[in-house]
Chain A
Amino acid sequence: MARMNMVQAINLALHEEMKRDENVIVMGQDVGVNEGVFRVTAGLYKEFGERRVIDTPLAESGILGTAVGMALAGLRPVAEMQFSGFSYLMMGHLEGHCSRYRSRTHGHLTVPLVVRMPYGGGVRALEHHSESREAMFAHIPGIKVVIPSGPRNARALLTAAIRDADTVVFMEPKRSYRAFREEVPEESEVWPIGKARVVQEGTDLTLVSWGAMLRMALEAAGEAHARRGVSVEIIDLLSISPMDTETILDSVKKTGRCVIAQEAPLRLGPASEIIARINDKALLYLEAPVGRVGSYDVVTPYFGREQAYFPGVDSVRRAIDETLDF
């Protein structure tokens, strides 16, 4: 066991997987000599060389497009988008090819690759560096969208993503990159994609969250427990697509109340989908409407105003209270 932050844990997974399988290569802007703008790829260039750690030209579509070709030819590229805000230039390949190749060839040709990208706000970053657009990616069938919330699950899920037979968009909450450390096991772990985790058991209310919001959810739940003795069950979604409906439903059927806390804007977001699934399968178990926390449906403001925009512990706490007091 070693204590490490999320950057180190992701780096560990990359090291381990590159060592394990020489088809695994890392590519992106500044991922080699410079070791990534967040140092996520530290040490890889030195250890594996420029053939396996490729400093690419500056072009997001080109990065994913060439990665698609590599994956079709048998490599396992791990492509980095420097920031999720620049990733939309590669959407053509994600929607047009990553999502379709397996289906359009009935499994004869597949695109097993990982697109890593730091996303989300809260670090007072420049324009285009703070959005949470997981819903955009998760809307595309045939790709997977994974969001870790801490070092241990980041390492275990990235390992799973690299070994996965399909394209995985791996969104890294950059607010959590160095926010805290955690014990990460010595041995490589593989957590199944498409599976949520109950990180705290409870009986009164289900709180679903993911990414950087999970820490705020934990804090809000702790506060609610201290203040009014409420027992909150917290689910870390981890995988936006495919989505683990079962774990959420089991919990909601037990607690009868649910709040979903996401950093992304509310409209048509993952929370909306979760509510739809609860409506389909557990409506009659509900004691109150499902509460929803998220950003406003406005353009992400510059960081001078980001505190007014992003949800935090207070908004989660308010939603817990409203759902309990309904």
Chain B
Amino acid sequence: MPAKQTYKFSIPHLRILDQDGKVNKKLDPGLSDEVLITLYRRMVLAREADQRMLRLQRQGRLGTFSPSTGQEAAACGPALAMEESDWLVPAFRELGALLMRGVPLHRVLLFWGGFEEGNIFPGVERTLPIAVIVASQIPHAAGVAYTMKYRREPSAVLCFFGDGATSEGDFHEGLNFASVWKAPVVFICQNNQWAISTPLERQMNSETVAQKAVAYGIPGIRVDGNDPLAMYAATHEALERARAGEGPTLIEALTYRLMMHTTADDPSKYRSDEEVQAWKDRDPLRRMRRLLDSRKLWSDTEEEALLAQVKVQIDGEVKIYEQGVRAKPDVLFDHVWAERYPEIEEQRAAFLARQQGGETHG
């Protein structure tokens, strides 16, 4: 059928730091040596914390959780681009971003350890807790962004989700609302190519996630998600656009989940060792280390010192976590509504009476 072309699009791909640690000079965001070192340290902290959590889970000291090993660049790069006054709206695989916002590790441990206290971040503003329902946080981010615009605040929202989330209606609705409202929000899809056992090609028929932005009339870019400099640069630019009133951006971070979806599944059931190995070779930490080495900013001694320091830090956080929470047993009755109502208070009284009598609810 002969037809005129009405709209053409192309999707840019951004990589700044290659696998050998070489920087594309034309695209270099020009981060100072000090900032580069900080970024590397944060990525190492996220990796080491993740691996510790895995051991804690295997030892029965932590509940089911979703490891983020391999995705440190995709979480830490964007977090580095944030202002304190920006909002972070996470999914559940952005440990590095949460830590960079100042969320103490023990809070994250409490979340995965089965306590609501893991959603309370004292002193950390504008950081929403982990969202478990896939894609549900995307419209939340659009709503927070609308509020920033409504109040004429020069702040933006950074919202994370995975490739599986792009199939959800809330992905479409969130991006659609945000783009219609020109709301200041940056959407980052951590495309780690697996939604539990569902590979990307069964998730979508599109060539890229980034091209979905075209449907909303907003910029979309695919970024090497294991390249922290590219993730920083793309996010930085998108946040600036957002704060300047130019609306949302969709960033696809092409990365890979090196571990299981959560500690409750066995990836060997659905993907090959060869595939995993190929992505281990593209480890974002290694790439960052090579950059630091090439600029003579790092040494094995410093690496050892960092690992030792990170271990002490994590040990301390695990200790706080394992001291448990100090809340009265009937706290679960405290926050149903702001006001207290007889129907809940009666159940509380019955609960406390049973507790005093040494009975359990079960």
Q: Are A106 and B120 in contact (CB under 8 A)?
A: yes
Known contacts A107-B335, A242-B341: A70-B144 contact under CB 8 Å? yes
- Among B318-345, those with CB < 8 Å from A are 331-332, 334-339, 341-344
Q: Kindly specify which of A92-100, A203-211, A219-227 makes contact with the partner chain.
A: A92-100
CB neighbours of B143 from chain A (8 A): 65-73, 77
Q: Chain A: which residue is nearest B333 at the CB level?
A: A103
CB neighbours of A109 from chain B (8 A): 119, 128-129
CB distance from B249 to the nearest CB of A (A): 18
CB distance from A144 to the nearest CB of B (A): 7
- Among B93-150, those with CB < 8 Å from A are 116-117, 119-120, 128-129, 133, 136, 138-148, 150
Q: Kindly specify which of B27-35, B51-59, B171-179, B286-294 makes contact with the partner chain.
A: B171-179
CB neighbours of B180 from chain A (8 A): 57
Known contacts A72-B144, A106-B331: A242-B150 contact under CB 8 Å? no
Q: Chain B: which residue is nearest A113 at the CB level?
A: B143
Bound CA span A217–B60, Å: 58
Bound CA span A96–B134, Å: 11
CB neighbours of B139 from chain A (8 A): 61-62, 64-66, 68-69, 93
Interface centre among B87, B139, B146, B331 (most CB of A within 10 A): B139
Bound CA span A287–B89, Å: 57
Q: Decide yes or no whether A37 CB sits under 8 A from chain B.
A: no
Q: Decide yes or no whether A102 CB sits under 8 A from chain B.
A: yes
Q: Are A62 and B343 in contact (CB under 8 A)?
A: no
Q: Are A166 and B173 in contact (CB under 8 A)?
A: no
Q: Chain A: which residue is nearest B138 at the CB level?
A: A65
Bound CA span A11–B338, Å: 26
**Chain B contact patch, size range:** 35 or more
Known contacts A57-B173, A105-B120: A66-B339 contact under CB 8 Å? no
Known contacts A73-B144, A75-B150, A96-B136: A61-B170 contact under CB 8 Å? yes
Q: Are A75 and B170 in contact (CB under 8 A)?
A: no
Q: Are B140 and A59 in contact (CB under 8 A)?
A: no
Bound CA span A133–B53, Å: 44
Bound CA span A103–B169, Å: 26
CB distance from B77 to the nearest CB of A (A): 24
Q: Decide yes or no whether A20 CB sits under 8 A from chain B.
A: no
Q: Are A104 and B119 in contact (CB under 8 A)?
A: yes
CB neighbours of B334 from chain A (8 A): 106-107
Q: Chain A: which residue is nearest B139 at the CB level?
A: A65
CB neighbours of A89 from chain B (8 A): 169
CB neighbours of A74 from chain B (8 A): 147
Number of A-B contacts (CB under 8 A): 133
Known contacts A65-B170, A69-B139: A242-B343 contact under CB 8 Å? yes
Q: Are A65 and B142 in contact (CB under 8 A)?
A: yes
Q: Decide yes or no whether A301 CB sits under 8 A from chain B.
A: no
CB neighbours of A293 from chain B (8 A): none
Q: Decide yes or no whether A47 CB sits under 8 A from chain B.
A: no
CB neighbours of A164 from chain B (8 A): 338
CB distance from B320 to the nearest CB of A (A): 17
Q: Chain B: which residue is nearest A192 at the CB level?
A: B339
The interface size of chain A toward B, counting residues with CB under 8 Å, comes to 45
CB distance from A240 to the nearest CB of B (A): 12
CB distance from B264 to the nearest CB of A (A): 20
Chain A 100-140, CB-CB to B under 8 Å as 1, else 0, gives 00111111111000000000000000000000000000000
Q: Are B147 and A73 in contact (CB under 8 A)?
A: yes
Contact partner of B136 (CB less than 8 A), chosen from A56, A93, A108, A242, is A93
CB neighbours of A141 from chain B (8 A): 336
Known contacts A74-B147, A106-B331, A194-B339: A59-B173 contact under CB 8 Å? yes
Bound CA span A239–B145, Å: 33
CB distance from A215 to the nearest CB of B (A): 27
Contact partner of B173 (CB less than 8 A), chosen from A25, A65, A96, is A65
Q: Are A59 and B116 in contact (CB under 8 A)?
A: no
Q: Decide yes or no whether A51 CB sits under 8 A from chain B.
A: yes
Bound CA span A105–B334, Å: 11
Q: Are A68 and B177 in contact (CB under 8 A)?
A: no
Q: Are A65 and B136 in contact (CB under 8 A)?
A: yes
CB neighbours of A105 from chain B (8 A): 116, 119-120, 129
CB distance from A281 to the nearest CB of B (A): 10
Contact partner of B144 (CB less than 8 A), chosen from A25, A69, A102, A166, is A69
Q: Are A73 and B148 in contact (CB under 8 A)?
A: yes
CB distance from B92 to the nearest CB of A (A): 13
Q: Are A92 and B133 in contact (CB under 8 A)?
A: yes
Q: Are B338 and A246 in contact (CB under 8 A)?
A: no
Q: Are A106 and B177 in contact (CB under 8 A)?
A: no
Bound CA span A72–B334, Å: 19
CB neighbours of B341 from chain A (8 A): 194, 242
Q: Chain A: which residue is nearest B126 at the CB level?
A: A73
Contact partner of A165 (CB less than 8 A), chosen from B136, B144, B173, B339, is B339
CB distance from A277 to the nearest CB of B (A): 8
Q: Decide yes or no whether A323 CB sits under 8 A from chain B.
A: no
CB neighbours of B117 from chain A (8 A): 106
CB neighbours of A243 from chain B (8 A): 343
Nearest 5 A-B pairs (CB), nearest first? A69-B143, A65-B139, A62-B173, A165-B338, A66-B143
Query: Could you show 8 A-B contacts with beta carbons less than 8 Å apart?
Result: A56-B177, A66-B174, A67-B143, A70-B146, A73-B87, A73-B144, A92-B170, A102-B337
Which residues does B use to contact A, with CB under 8 Å? 87, 89, 116-117, 119-120, 128-129, 133, 136, 138-148, 150, 169-170, 173-174, 176-177, 180, 331-332, 334-339, 341-344
13 additional A-B pairs beyond A102-B338, A106-B116, beta carbons within 8 Å, are A59-B169, A59-B176, A61-B170, A62-B174, A66-B174, A69-B144, A69-B146, A93-B136, A93-B139, A97-B140, A102-B335, A165-B338, A166-B338
